[in-house]
């Protein structure tokens, strides 16, 4: 069959149209209609709180947080970790730096105890009798920490 310029143009137009329809069909099959594919659910207060957390805020301020400041004397809370073990035990480690006349000394205090969870509420009961009621949102724990008689609002962020 011999093609003339007119039949070749008609053939190319039909071929381009068929290719365009095929491309649209393939794209439509791969598309999710403008929505994203469902991923894992966001963490929430009903998720288990067990894990390791790092102190991120003290009284809404980042660390280091000044606990006491006077001429030539300063105590700062520099870091803290809270480990909530799956068996119901916890370990709270707090690091402070005491600076006297320009000389710094680092101290670490450790508190151990037990913890329980009821949805977004976590109860921490230290072995020395102290206790704290924490709020858990699936990523962070917030509670009031009594540090040497000073109430501190602390926020711990779960480590990845």
Distances 91 to 37, 114, 139, 159 between C-alpha atoms, Å: 39, 9, 18, 15
Structure confidence at residue 17 (pLDDT): 53
Tens of pLDDT, residues 28-85: 444 455 556 677 888 899 999 999 999 999 999 999 999 999 999 999 999 999 999 9
Each residue's pLDDT tens digit, 73-96 = 999 999 999 999 999 999 999 999
Domain 51-158 falls under CATH 1.20.140? no
**Domain assignments of the chain as residue spans, ordered by start:** 1-39, 51-158
Burial class (CB in 10 A: 0-12, 13-18, 19+), 80: buried
pTM, rounded to two decimals: 0.74
Q: What is the pLDDT of residues 93-132, one digit of tens each?
A: 999 999 999 999 999 999 999 999 999 999 999 999 999 9
In the chain the first and final C-alpha atoms are separated, in Å, by: 69
Question: CB-side exposure of 22: number of CA atoms within 13 Å?
Answer: 6
């Amino acid at each position: 069959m011999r093609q003339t310029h007119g039949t070749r143009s008609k053939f190319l137009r039909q071929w381009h149209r068929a290719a365009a329809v095929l491309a649209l069909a393939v794209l439509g099959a791969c598309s999710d209609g403008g929505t994203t594919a469902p991923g894992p659910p966001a963490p929430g207060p009903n998720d288990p709180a067990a894990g390791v957390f790092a102190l991120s805020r003290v009284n809404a301020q980042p660390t280091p947080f000044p606990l006491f400041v006077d001429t030539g004397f300063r105590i700062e809370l520099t870091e803290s970790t809270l480990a909530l073990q799956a068996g119901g035990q916890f370990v709270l480690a707090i690091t402070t730096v005491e600076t006297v006349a320009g000389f710094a000394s680092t101290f670490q205090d450790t508190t151990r105890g037990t913890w329980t969870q009821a949805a977004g509420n976590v109860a921490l009961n230290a072995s020395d009798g102290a206790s704290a009621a924490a709020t858990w949102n699936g990523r962070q724990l917030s509670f009031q920490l009594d540090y040497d008689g000073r109430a501190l609002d602390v926020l711990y962020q779960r480590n990845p």
